[in-house]
Amino acid sequence: MSDTTQFRTTTQHMLKESKVYASHTLMGGLAGFESPIGLDRHDRINALRTGDIGFVHSWDINTSVDGPGTRMTVFMSGCPLRCQFCQNPDTWKMRDGQPVYIEEMIKRIVRYKDVFQNTGGGVTFSGGESMMQPAFVSRVFHEVRKEGVSTCLDTAGFLNRNFTDEMLDDVDLCLLDVKSGDEKTYHTVTGGALQPTIDFGRRLNRLGKKIWVRFVLVPGLTDSEENVENVAKICESFGDAVEHIDVLPFHQLGRPKWHEMGIDYPLETCEGPSKELKARVKDQFESHGFVVY
Protein backbone atom coordinates (compact mmCIF):
# COMPACT_ATOMS: atom_id res chain seq x y z
CA MET A 1 0.00 0.00 0.00
CA SER A 2 1.87 3.06 -1.23
CA ASP A 3 -0.74 5.69 -0.33
CA THR A 4 -0.15 6.46 3.33
CA THR A 5 -2.63 9.33 3.47
CA GLN A 6 -5.52 7.07 4.44
CA PHE A 7 -3.71 5.63 7.45
CA ARG A 8 -3.39 8.28 10.14
CA THR A 9 -2.86 7.95 13.85
CA THR A 10 -4.44 9.82 16.72
CA THR A 11 -1.91 12.59 17.15
CA GLN A 12 -1.98 16.32 16.54
CA HIS A 13 -1.09 15.54 12.92
CA MET A 14 -4.70 14.59 12.27
CA LEU A 15 -5.56 18.28 12.21
CA LYS A 16 -3.34 18.76 9.17
CA GLU A 17 -4.28 18.14 5.58
CA SER A 18 -3.72 14.54 4.49
CA LYS A 19 -0.96 15.35 2.00
CA VAL A 20 0.87 17.48 4.54
CA TYR A 21 0.60 14.74 7.14
CA ALA A 22 1.93 12.08 4.77
CA SER A 23 4.95 14.19 3.90
CA HIS A 24 5.89 14.79 7.53
CA THR A 25 5.79 11.31 9.02
CA LEU A 26 7.53 8.02 8.42
CA MET A 27 5.06 6.23 10.68
CA GLY A 28 1.32 5.87 10.55
CA GLY A 29 1.16 4.15 7.17
CA LEU A 30 1.52 0.57 6.06
CA ALA A 31 4.01 1.01 3.26
CA GLY A 32 6.54 -1.82 3.32
CA PHE A 33 4.13 -4.49 4.53
CA GLU A 34 3.54 -7.34 2.13
CA SER A 35 -0.25 -7.56 1.98
CA PRO A 36 -2.10 -10.75 0.98
CA ILE A 37 -4.19 -8.92 -1.62
CA GLY A 38 -4.54 -12.07 -3.74
CA LEU A 39 -6.61 -13.94 -1.16
CA ASP A 40 -10.30 -14.35 -1.89
CA ARG A 41 -12.93 -13.66 0.76
CA HIS A 42 -13.11 -17.27 1.99
CA ASP A 43 -9.32 -17.52 2.34
CA ARG A 44 -9.17 -14.21 4.19
CA ILE A 45 -11.81 -15.31 6.68
CA ASN A 46 -9.92 -18.53 7.36
CA ALA A 47 -6.60 -16.69 7.66
CA LEU A 48 -8.19 -14.21 10.05
CA ARG A 49 -9.56 -17.05 12.17
CA THR A 50 -6.14 -18.70 12.45
CA GLY A 51 -4.28 -15.40 12.88
CA ASP A 52 -2.24 -15.81 9.71
CA ILE A 53 -3.36 -12.32 8.76
CA GLY A 54 -4.66 -9.33 10.68
CA PHE A 55 -6.56 -6.29 9.46
CA VAL A 56 -4.45 -3.29 10.45
CA HIS A 57 -5.38 0.38 10.28
CA SER A 58 -1.95 1.88 10.99
CA TRP A 59 1.07 1.83 13.27
CA ASP A 60 3.21 4.42 14.96
CA ILE A 61 6.26 4.85 17.16
CA ASN A 62 5.57 6.95 20.25
CA THR A 63 6.79 7.67 23.75
CA SER A 64 4.75 7.78 26.99
CA VAL A 65 1.39 7.45 25.25
CA ASP A 66 0.42 3.79 25.01
CA GLY A 67 2.48 2.28 27.79
CA PRO A 68 5.97 2.73 29.25
CA GLY A 69 9.02 3.65 27.23
CA THR A 70 9.26 3.95 23.47
CA ARG A 71 6.55 1.82 21.88
CA MET A 72 5.32 0.63 18.56
CA THR A 73 1.55 1.02 18.68
CA VAL A 74 -0.40 -1.04 16.17
CA PHE A 75 -3.95 0.15 15.52
CA MET A 76 -6.12 -2.80 14.55
CA SER A 77 -9.28 -2.36 12.49
CA GLY A 78 -12.71 -3.28 13.79
CA CYS A 79 -14.58 -2.28 16.96
CA PRO A 80 -17.98 -3.35 18.33
CA LEU A 81 -18.44 -0.15 20.36
CA ARG A 82 -19.40 3.31 19.12
CA CYS A 83 -17.98 5.63 21.74
CA GLN A 84 -19.21 9.20 21.52
CA PHE A 85 -15.66 10.50 22.09
CA CYS A 86 -13.92 8.04 19.74
CA GLN A 87 -10.78 9.48 18.15
CA ASN A 88 -10.63 6.78 15.50
CA PRO A 89 -14.03 6.23 13.85
CA ASP A 90 -12.09 5.17 10.76
CA THR A 91 -11.12 1.99 12.65
CA TRP A 92 -14.69 0.85 13.36
CA LYS A 93 -15.00 -1.45 10.33
CA MET A 94 -12.52 -4.29 10.01
CA ARG A 95 -12.87 -4.36 6.23
CA ASP A 96 -11.45 -0.83 6.05
CA GLY A 97 -8.09 -2.06 7.35
CA GLN A 98 -5.29 -3.57 5.33
CA PRO A 99 -4.69 -7.31 5.69
CA VAL A 100 -1.13 -7.95 6.87
CA TYR A 101 0.68 -11.28 7.12
CA ILE A 102 1.62 -12.21 10.69
CA GLU A 103 5.24 -12.82 9.66
CA GLU A 104 5.47 -9.28 8.31
CA MET A 105 4.10 -7.82 11.52
CA ILE A 106 6.48 -9.81 13.70
CA LYS A 107 9.47 -8.75 11.61
CA ARG A 108 8.45 -5.10 11.82
CA ILE A 109 8.14 -5.22 15.60
CA VAL A 110 11.36 -7.14 16.24
CA ARG A 111 13.24 -4.62 14.11
CA TYR A 112 12.86 -2.15 16.99
CA LYS A 113 13.60 -4.50 19.87
CA ASP A 114 16.87 -2.79 20.82
CA VAL A 115 15.05 0.54 21.11
CA PHE A 116 12.34 -1.08 23.20
CA GLN A 117 14.79 -2.77 25.53
CA ASN A 118 16.88 0.37 25.97
CA THR A 119 13.85 2.50 26.90
CA GLY A 120 11.74 -0.02 28.79
CA GLY A 121 9.23 0.02 25.94
CA GLY A 122 7.66 -2.55 23.68
CA VAL A 123 4.68 -3.12 21.42
CA THR A 124 1.09 -2.10 22.12
CA PHE A 125 -1.89 -3.40 20.19
CA SER A 126 -4.70 -0.88 20.12
CA GLY A 127 -7.53 -0.04 17.78
CA GLY A 128 -10.30 -0.04 17.04
CA GLU A 129 -10.55 -2.95 19.42
CA SER A 130 -7.58 -5.31 19.37
CA MET A 131 -9.65 -8.08 20.95
CA MET A 132 -11.67 -8.39 17.73
CA GLN A 133 -8.69 -10.21 16.21
CA PRO A 134 -7.56 -12.47 19.08
CA ALA A 135 -5.68 -15.08 17.07
CA PHE A 136 -3.50 -12.55 15.25
CA VAL A 137 -2.76 -10.38 18.27
CA SER A 138 -2.06 -13.26 20.65
CA ARG A 139 0.19 -15.05 18.16
CA VAL A 140 2.19 -11.87 17.53
CA PHE A 141 2.55 -11.31 21.27
CA HIS A 142 3.73 -14.89 21.77
CA GLU A 143 6.43 -14.63 19.10
CA VAL A 144 7.79 -11.18 19.93
CA ARG A 145 8.05 -12.00 23.64
CA LYS A 146 10.42 -14.80 22.63
CA GLU A 147 12.58 -12.00 21.19
CA GLY A 148 12.47 -10.04 24.45
CA VAL A 149 9.83 -7.50 23.40
CA SER A 150 7.38 -6.42 26.11
CA THR A 151 3.70 -6.57 25.16
CA CYS A 152 0.73 -4.37 26.00
CA LEU A 153 -2.96 -4.84 25.18
CA ASP A 154 -5.04 -1.66 24.88
CA THR A 155 -8.70 -2.62 25.16
CA ALA A 156 -12.13 -1.79 26.53
CA GLY A 157 -12.44 -5.40 27.66
CA PHE A 158 -15.87 -5.68 26.02
CA LEU A 159 -14.77 -8.77 24.06
CA ASN A 160 -12.83 -10.32 26.93
CA ARG A 161 -14.12 -13.82 26.17
CA ASN A 162 -12.27 -13.70 22.85
CA PHE A 163 -9.00 -14.08 24.78
CA THR A 164 -8.32 -17.29 26.65
CA ASP A 165 -6.21 -17.35 29.80
CA GLU A 166 -3.48 -18.98 27.72
CA MET A 167 -3.53 -16.04 25.29
CA LEU A 168 -3.28 -13.63 28.19
CA ASP A 169 -0.10 -15.37 29.34
CA ASP A 170 1.71 -13.31 26.68
CA VAL A 171 0.30 -9.95 27.82
CA ASP A 172 2.66 -8.04 30.10
CA LEU A 173 0.43 -5.00 30.62
CA CYS A 174 -3.17 -4.09 29.88
CA LEU A 175 -4.40 -0.56 29.26
CA LEU A 176 -8.02 -1.06 30.30
CA ASP A 177 -10.59 1.56 29.35
CA VAL A 178 -13.24 1.87 32.04
CA LYS A 179 -15.53 4.26 30.23
CA SER A 180 -18.21 4.58 32.91
CA GLY A 181 -19.14 3.33 36.36
CA ASP A 182 -22.76 2.42 35.72
CA GLU A 183 -24.54 0.47 32.99
CA LYS A 184 -26.84 3.29 31.87
CA THR A 185 -24.05 5.81 31.32
CA TYR A 186 -21.82 3.15 29.78
CA HIS A 187 -24.50 2.30 27.23
CA THR A 188 -25.02 5.99 26.47
CA VAL A 189 -21.29 6.49 25.96
CA THR A 190 -20.53 3.31 23.99
CA GLY A 191 -23.71 1.54 22.92
CA GLY A 192 -22.42 -1.53 24.77
CA ALA A 193 -22.55 -3.10 28.23
CA LEU A 194 -20.24 -2.45 31.19
CA GLN A 195 -20.13 -5.87 32.86
CA PRO A 196 -17.66 -7.49 30.39
CA THR A 197 -15.08 -4.81 31.28
CA ILE A 198 -15.52 -5.53 34.98
CA ASP A 199 -15.21 -9.27 34.42
CA PHE A 200 -12.06 -8.78 32.36
CA GLY A 201 -10.34 -6.58 34.94
CA ARG A 202 -11.04 -9.14 37.64
CA ARG A 203 -9.72 -11.92 35.41
CA LEU A 204 -6.51 -9.97 34.77
CA ASN A 205 -6.07 -9.62 38.51
CA ARG A 206 -6.60 -13.34 39.01
CA LEU A 207 -3.93 -14.04 36.40
CA GLY A 208 -1.44 -11.66 38.04
CA LYS A 209 -1.41 -9.12 35.20
CA LYS A 210 -0.72 -5.39 35.48
CA ILE A 211 -3.43 -2.86 34.60
CA TRP A 212 -3.28 0.82 33.79
CA VAL A 213 -6.88 2.03 33.93
CA ARG A 214 -7.94 4.73 31.50
CA PHE A 215 -10.94 6.94 32.18
CA VAL A 216 -12.03 9.64 29.72
CA LEU A 217 -13.42 12.66 31.54
CA VAL A 218 -16.19 14.22 29.46
CA PRO A 219 -18.10 17.17 30.96
CA GLY A 220 -21.81 16.44 31.07
CA LEU A 221 -21.32 12.78 30.18
CA THR A 222 -18.91 10.93 32.50
CA ASP A 223 -18.08 13.60 35.06
CA SER A 224 -20.73 13.17 37.76
CA GLU A 225 -19.44 12.45 41.24
CA GLU A 226 -21.55 9.30 41.39
CA ASN A 227 -20.19 7.96 38.13
CA VAL A 228 -16.59 8.63 39.13
CA GLU A 229 -17.17 6.95 42.51
CA ASN A 230 -18.57 3.91 40.71
CA VAL A 231 -15.52 3.77 38.43
CA ALA A 232 -13.27 3.90 41.51
CA LYS A 233 -15.18 1.04 43.13
CA ILE A 234 -14.88 -1.02 39.94
CA CYS A 235 -11.13 -0.40 39.92
CA GLU A 236 -10.96 -1.49 43.56
CA SER A 237 -12.47 -4.80 42.50
CA PHE A 238 -9.42 -5.32 40.26
CA GLY A 239 -7.28 -5.62 43.39
CA ASP A 240 -3.53 -5.11 43.24
CA ALA A 241 -3.50 -5.37 39.45
CA VAL A 242 -4.13 -1.62 39.07
CA GLU A 243 -0.85 0.28 39.01
CA HIS A 244 -2.44 3.66 38.34
CA ILE A 245 -5.41 5.43 36.78
CA ASP A 246 -5.02 7.79 33.83
CA VAL A 247 -7.69 10.48 33.81
CA LEU A 248 -7.82 11.54 30.16
CA PRO A 249 -9.42 14.95 29.59
CA PHE A 250 -11.84 14.99 26.66
CA HIS A 251 -10.61 16.92 23.61
CA GLN A 252 -11.81 17.60 20.10
CA LEU A 253 -8.84 16.19 18.15
CA GLY A 254 -11.01 13.41 16.76
CA ARG A 255 -13.75 15.71 15.43
CA PRO A 256 -12.21 16.19 11.95
CA LYS A 257 -12.40 12.44 11.30
CA TRP A 258 -16.11 12.34 12.12
CA HIS A 259 -16.70 15.23 9.73
CA GLU A 260 -14.51 13.67 7.05
CA MET A 261 -16.47 10.42 7.27
CA GLY A 262 -19.83 12.17 7.24
CA ILE A 263 -20.84 10.83 10.67
CA ASP A 264 -22.92 12.93 13.05
CA TYR A 265 -20.65 13.87 15.93
CA PRO A 266 -22.56 13.80 19.23
CA LEU A 267 -20.02 15.92 21.14
CA GLU A 268 -19.79 18.71 18.58
CA THR A 269 -20.15 21.51 21.12
CA CYS A 270 -18.61 19.79 24.13
CA GLU A 271 -15.60 21.49 25.70
CA GLY A 272 -12.79 19.86 27.63
CA PRO A 273 -12.95 19.66 31.44
CA SER A 274 -11.95 22.64 33.51
CA LYS A 275 -8.92 22.62 35.77
CA GLU A 276 -11.26 22.45 38.75
CA LEU A 277 -13.15 19.46 37.39
CA LYS A 278 -9.95 17.55 36.65
CA ALA A 279 -8.71 18.25 40.18
CA ARG A 280 -11.99 17.04 41.71
CA VAL A 281 -11.93 13.78 39.77
CA LYS A 282 -8.27 13.22 40.57
CA ASP A 283 -9.01 13.75 44.25
CA GLN A 284 -11.90 11.29 44.10
CA PHE A 285 -9.72 8.52 42.72
CA GLU A 286 -6.88 9.32 45.10
CA SER A 287 -9.26 9.10 48.04
CA HIS A 288 -9.61 5.41 47.14
CA GLY A 289 -5.84 4.97 47.37
CA PHE A 290 -5.04 5.05 43.65
CA VAL A 291 -2.07 6.68 41.98
CA VAL A 292 -3.61 9.05 39.43
CA TYR A 293 -2.15 10.76 36.38
β-strand 53-63 against 98-101: which pairing, if any? antiparallel
Distance CA 258, CA 255 (A): 5
Query: CATH topology for 4-286?
Result: TIM Barrel (3.20.20)
Longest dimension (CA), the chain: 56
**CB within 8 A of 2, min separation 6: which ones?**
31
Q: What is the pTM of this model?
A: 0.86
Q: What is the pLDDT along the chain (293 residues), one digit of tens a residue?
A: 333 323 223 232 322 333 332 222 223 455 555 556 556 777 777 888 899 999 999 999 988 789 999 999 999 999 999 999 999 999 999 988 988 999 999 999 999 999 999 999 999 999 999 999 999 999 999 999 999 999 999 999 999 999 999 999 999 999 999 999 999 999 999 999 999 999 999 999 999 999 999 999 999 999 999 999 999 999 999 999 999 999 999 999 999 999 999 999 999 999 999 999 999 999 999 999 999 99
Q: Which of 148, 95, 92, 159 is nearest to 120 (CA)?
A: 148
What pLDDT score does 47 carry? 85
Position 29, amino acid: G
Cβ proximity of 132 and 162 under 8 Å: yes
